[in-house]
Structure 1
Amino acid sequence: MINKLLALPLALAVVATIGCTRKSDQAAGGSASATGSSNEILVGEFGSFTGGEATFGISTSNGIKMAFEEANAKGGVKGKKLVLKSLDNQGKAEEAASAVTRLINQDHVTAILGEVASSRSLAAAPIAQQNKIPMITPSSTNPKVTEVGNYIFRVCFIDPFQGTVMAKFANDNLKAKKVAILRDVKSDYSVGLADYFQKKFKELGGDIVMDTSFQSGDIDFKAQLTQIKATKPDAIYVPGYYTEVGLIARQARQLGITAPLLGGDGWDSSKLFEIGGSAINGNYFSNHYTTESTDPAVQDFIKKYKEKYGETPDALAALGYDAAKVLIAAMERTADLKPDQIRDEIAKTKDFSVVTGKITMDANRNAVKPAVIVKVDGNVNRYVTTIAP
């Protein structure tokens, strides 16, 4: 019920602000026919623009559109205008598969950008691979995504690294000896992160005092939290998405649990504090970048994003922007923009400077890059430390 109530106003906002783009297939940077024209390069995007994780899809799309508009202002790619065709998968894996099938078979896109959630990228990636259309996910961190095949890439770090990062932080920085885990068993992302965290934390000599679960869409976590409270953990690892995490934080504090909550990049949304309120303050999560960076390129991106969208970009916006920049640079290096050439050039990406750091694609088409730890402080995520791969 909570998810539906949260999703409804957000969905209406999406229709009002970008609905014409999603529904009438008017592409970012200009309208296009289904297959574009000889003077255009049609790129497909699939994302969650409605549903319980809509802020992820909207932020990512905003970043992608900004990168495309910047490239078009400079003459496009090889004299051709970049056109983005975006389809809403409503936060559903089956819709993600349908969207990518349509983008490839009906719209004949040259490349695909998306998705945020690993479960939805895993549903779509085999279709892109089978049709030999390069796909870059901005932020799906489950290792299985790029294992689908050699046409699938990502510009974010992966769960083994992200889980390890937070295990190290819990041990080294928080001096935690006992940690409880509360994972979402319906999410490949959450299960993967929990497994990697648990493995590393035990290697460091820590004790996992409880490993319990919930399912996406749940709104009552008091039974699990009561059990966790009895184990007296030094910290609780909750690798979920912001909707459930906000509710878990509220209920944990209501039960008198004072141990800090730890999580991953799925926490990064302006909705986290809206849902969790003051209960989310003082908790930590791993992320792809920090708005408190002093890097001029990062600050320039933040400034331009604020001017265009009226809000501070979260990590999903930065990763959408970076994924588009990697794709655009690869296209520029090709001879004639054929998908196999684009695939080859994406794979050659090395020390490519973007907002979230320097990206080098490894042999498994994963980005090698650092992670940051941030601490929630109201609507601001305060930088704590950087952990290199």
Structure 2
Amino acid sequence: MVIRPERSLRCVAPWPEARHIPEVPRRPIPVSLSPAAHPVSRGPPVRPRLPGRCRHLVCTPGVGVLGLAALLGCRASPRVALIGWAFPIAVTSNAQVARDELDSWPAAGRPPIRIISDSVVQGDSPDREVERAGRLAALPGMVVVVGHGGSRGSLAAAPVYNQAGIPQIVPSSTSRLLHKAGPWTFMLPPDDSIEGAFMGAFAVERLHVRRASIFYINDEYGAGLRDGIVAALGGRGVRIVDRVSFETQSDMPTLVAATLHRGVPDVLLVAGRQRETGAIARLAQRRVPGLRIVAGDGALVLPTLADNAGAAAESVYVVAFWLPDAPDSLSRAFVERFRRVVGRDPQSTDAMSHDALLLAATAIRAVGARRGAVRDYLRALGRSRPAFLGVTGPITFTANRPVRLVMTHLQHGVPVRVTGP
């Protein structure tokens, strides 16, 4: 029987004032990407020879296409280790930058590595995320998956990977529920309780607020961050004037008008994404000029946030995991590479995704393509193995790992690091 691919999987070719929590100091690291620059050496850019009937399907440098059925037919090449990129196919820039860096690694005896993503499943609803996870998990040679794009999608997909025994590195989702998703799920960022505490501390200690209202999107990200903010403000004696739940299609003018009618706060804290956060800032500023907005990491997508906020953009403070002005050598090298490959400056989530992809590849190079060995490698970081030195800082999955969050202030459409004592 001949198996024909219905469409394709896309493959990235073989490949006290601002009392925010400070970034962890990192020792200077040479820009050289040789193994000596990291505690664990990184993998080789070896391109394998596949059987003749499969060779025409293998990606070449850049972005190519590889069908699910085609991969199922290429079992004769077991040495290729696949990293799944579990994002909609429009989001390929991070995989391209990671592939560019992998190509600079010295040759070694480990399996060649490819980064592959599903181009059939579109959208990011929970059902779509589960479908995307199932397709990636079914691929022969799949060793580790990076994704998914949001807390709801990552949580929906986690049972698929845990049942299949595939490590899942979550690059930017913050729901604390991910801690309990299973032993194969590894969460890179601080969770929403930590981020909520960070936002609350900033609002009180830097902005000196006594009254606050909270807007939150009605999903796992928004509800989790809301709870973290409420706990932080309650412990600091701040009165919560209102809590407003919204959906992506909510009537924002009505919601903003209603909450400001109930009471005017000193600050609006927003647990939402870029379009809704920008709209809330714009509408609130029209009614209460000078009202400040403090938003969670999910809003930091530019230029969309600034465009939707309009003239109110400079009233917006927003949490970041990392900024491109970071002075260390790994950040400088990453910014230069990202600009060359993508043509723009990287954003906070770009750095997190890059770290997740390079961590996955480093694990494969260090211990091989066995899923259990990769899982054990990730668990050992900060314990029996040194932390992985990423662009965003040292990475471990220990309970007491350092927290790296940065508060930024939008100025001329660009997030600027908030500094102060």
Name the TM tier (shorter chain): 0.7 to 0.9
Specify the SS of the correspondent of 2:9.
coil
SS state at 2:326 partner: coil
Q: Identify the match of residue 413 of structure 2 among 369, 379, 384.
A: 379
User: Which aligned pairs between 1:281-292 and structure 2 lie closer than 5 A?
Assistant: 281-292=314-325
* Higher share of residues assigned helix: 1
**How far 1:295 sits from its partner (Å)?**
1.9
**Contact 1:241–1:267 (CA under 8 A) maintained in structure 2:** yes
Matches within 5 A, 1:189-208: 189-208=221-240
Match in the other structure for 2:87: 47
Distance 1:119 1:176 in 2: 31
Q: 1:290-369 alignment to 2 at 5 Å?
A: 290-334=323-367, 336-350=368-382, 351-363=387-399, 368-369=402-403
The aligned residue for residue 16 of structure 1 is: none
Aligned residues: 351
Find the structure with the greater CA-based Rg: 2
CA contact (8 A) 2:146 2:171 kept: yes
Letter in 2 for 1:25: L
Measured after TM superposition, the shift of residue 274 of structure 1 is 2.2
Contact kept, 8 Å, 1:370 with 1:386, in 2: the verdict is no
3-state SS, counterpart of residue 128 of structure 1: helix
Task: Tell me: CA distance 1:207–1:108, structure 2 relative to 1, closer, same or farther (3 Å).
Answer: same
Q: Of residues 58, 62, 65 in structure 1, which corresponds to 2:96? A: 65
Alpha carbons of structure 1 residues 196 and 26: separation in structure 2 relative to 1, 3 Å: closer
- TM-score w.r.t. the length of structure 2 is 0.78
Q: Distance in 2 between matches of 1:385 and 1:233?
A: 24
2:285 touches 2:291 (CA, 8 Å); kept in 1? no
Which moved further from structure 2: 195-204 or 292-301?
292-301
Corresponding residue for 1:85? Answer: 116
Change over 3 Å in CA distance of 1:72–1:238 after alignment to 2? same
- Structure 1 residues 227 and 183, CA gap change in structure 2 (3 angstroms): same
Deviations 1:290-309 (A, max 9, x none): 12222222122111101111
SS class of match (2:12): coil
1:143 CA displacement? 1.0
The question of whether the paired residues in 2 share the 8 Å contact of 1:64 and 1:323 is answered with no
TM-score by length of 1: 0.85
Taking a change above 3 Å as real, the CA distance of residues 315 and 327 of structure 1, as seen in their structure-2 partners, is same
- Displacement, 1:190? 0.7
**Structure 2 partner of 1:27:** 11
For 1:223, the aligned partner's letter is T
Query: Deviation of residue 105 (structure 1)?
Result: 1.8
Pair 1:232-2:264 in alignment:
yes
C-alpha distance in 2 between matches for 1:172 and 1:346: 36
Q: Quick one: distance in 2 between partners of 1:178 and 1:76?
A: 59
Contact 2:83 2:361 in 1 (8 A): no
TM-superposed deviation, 1:150: 0.6
Matches within 5 A, 1:118-157: 118-157=151-190
Offset from partner CA, 1:64-90 (integer Å, 9 cap, x none): 332233123324674432111112541
Deviates more, 1:36-45 or 1:267-276: 36-45
Give the 3 Å change call, closer, same or farther, for CA 386–89 of structure 1 in structure 2: farther
Task: Report if aligned partners of 1:136, 1:152 keep a CA contact under 8 Å in 2.
Answer: yes
- 1:375–1:382: 8 Å Cα contact kept in structure 2? yes
2 CA distance for matches of 1:282 and 1:127?
42
Distance verdict in 2 for CA 1:92–1:108, change over 3 Å: farther
- Percent sequence identity over aligned pairs: 24
Match in the other structure for 2:105? 74
Shift of 1:165: 0.3
1:113 corresponds to which residue? Answer: 146
| 3-state SS in 2 of match to 1:129 | helix
1:62 positional shift: 2.2
Relative contact order, higher structure (CA 8 A, sep 6+): 2
The Cα of 1:362 is off from its aligned counterpart by 1.2
Aligned to 1:20: none
Distance in 1 of aligned mates of 2:253 and 2:108:
53
For the structure 1 residues 85 and 77, does the alpha-carbon distance in structure 2 shift closer, same or farther, using more than 3 Å as the test?
farther
Structure 1 residue ranges (4+ consecutive) displaced by more than 6 angstroms after TM superposition: none
Question: Aligned in 2, Cα 1:80/1:386: closer, same or farther, shift over 3 Å?
Answer: farther
Q: Which runs of 5+ in 2 are unaligned?
A: 1-6, 15-58, 60-65
